[in-house]
Amino acid sequence: MTKHNSERNKIMRLLHTMLRVGNLERSLDFYQNVLNMQLLRRRDYPEGRFTLAFVGYGDEADHTVLELTHNWDTESYNLGDAYGHIAIEVNDAYAACERVKEMGGKVVREAGPMKHGTTVIAFVEDPDGYKIEFIQKKSGSDSVQYSS
């Protein structure tokens, strides 16, 4: 990394991704109980008629998290075709899919090697239809690596 990029990284960091959800309690149940995320903070904004809840795998000071926004007067959203997915690293994509199914969740692509490669991936959907990719951690690796 160049010195310029290193200096820039000290002042910029990805904080969160926001998802609009139709039923906050249902979404919190999914992210906390199915995906094992922690509820980091939650706040109602009565005058604006919305609630924000932040979930993730660690403190916001060190981790990128998800912001779940619930607009009180909206039960569902049209996700359109621009949204892709959120990716989560897992130790075992097959076991992660089984857990999702056991908890009543929806697996939309069973665990297996990605097309044209060997990295094991799977896709599940949250209660609002947002896709979440599980990427199996390579053994002996500190983080996910795509391999062909």
Question: Any residues with CB less than 8 A from the CB of 134 and at least 6 apart, and which?
Answer: 87, 88, 89, 90, 93, 96, 97, 111, 121, 122, 123, 124
Is 133 labelled as part of a ligand binding site? yes
Question: Any residues with CB less than 8 A from the CB of 81 and at least 6 apart, and which?
Answer: none
The beta strand positions in the chain, using DSSP E, are 16-20, 38-45, 50-56, 65-71, 86-90, 106-113, 120-125, 131-136
Is 60 labelled as part of a ligand binding site? no
Is 4 labelled as part of a ligand binding site? no
Residues labelled catalytic = 133
Residue positions in the annotated binding site?
67, 85, 133
Binding-site residues from annotation for Zn(2+): 67, 85, 133
